[in-house]
Amino acid sequence: MVMRKPDWLVALDSQKFFVPCSAHAHAKKNEKNICCLDCCTGICPHCVPAHRFHRMVQVRRYVYHDVVRLQDLDKLIDCSNVQSYTINSSKVVFLKKRPQNRQFKGSGNLCTSCDRCLQDPYVHCSLECKVDYLLGLKKDLSPYLRKCKTLQLSPDFHVPRDDEEVNETTHSTIVEGDELVGSSDSENLSSDNIVRVKRNERYIINCAAAASNIYDDASMAKNISRRKSTPFRSPLS
């Protein structure tokens, strides 16, 4: 019976990602965005060759939280009923709890651990919430853990040389508002889309400001043209 979290899961929960790697402080783009499950530590892309025979998962950032691809986590533990989202054409799940900032007044499922509102049929907002729920309710994780002897990074992951910058596609950092606006079936956001939306917003604002200035100038000219001439008194009789 497994009454505690496995070491690799503790590492995913406790390791701090997206911080500089001390072993490659001289290299560019050396942030830790990979977790070596066999060493139970966070590593940067420059560290990958030293861990090439180990199980590794890539950690991404989404709305300021760590996420991992669903297909990777599903090889390690049953992720059913954990709400997933789609970023860069891949389904991901959150690693840690995300408590609701304000009380939700609509309808929907609530997370079993942090009371966050979810869409049907999900009941856990993160992997941590599901694990805590299983440990609290059944005291046993063994039926949900899966044997996984090999787990490598995706084939398109680029391992840089020490004098080479990391390809921007090796990690995803997507920043949105406080709340998520879609689910795994409806949400498909990318950093390029967000930049494009922001540019469009700035364009619309600039156009509106220009139109306002034109209107103000036209109104001013019209008022000036209608201004009365200098009044004069009639001669006294």
pTM over 0.95: no
pLDDT, residue 166, reads 47
Q: Which residues of 195-233 are buried (b: 16+ CB within 10 A; e: fewer)?
A: eeeeeeeeeeeeeeeeeeeeeeeeeeeeeeeeeeeeeee
Domain boundaries, the chain: 7-188, 190-224
**Cβ count near 39 (within 10 Å):** 17
- Please, which residues bridge with residue 109 across strands? 118
Count H helices and E strands in the chain, helices first: 4, 9
CA proximity to 156, closest of 169, 174, 173: 169
Question: Region 165-175: what's the mean pLDDT?
Answer: 44
Task: Encode pLDDT of 114-154 as tens digits.
Answer: 888 888 889 999 999 999 999 998 888 999 999 999 998 88
Task: Encode pLDDT of 78-126 as tens digits.
Answer: 999 999 999 888 899 999 998 776 665 666 788 988 888 888 889 999 9
Write out the two tokens for 155: 């084939």
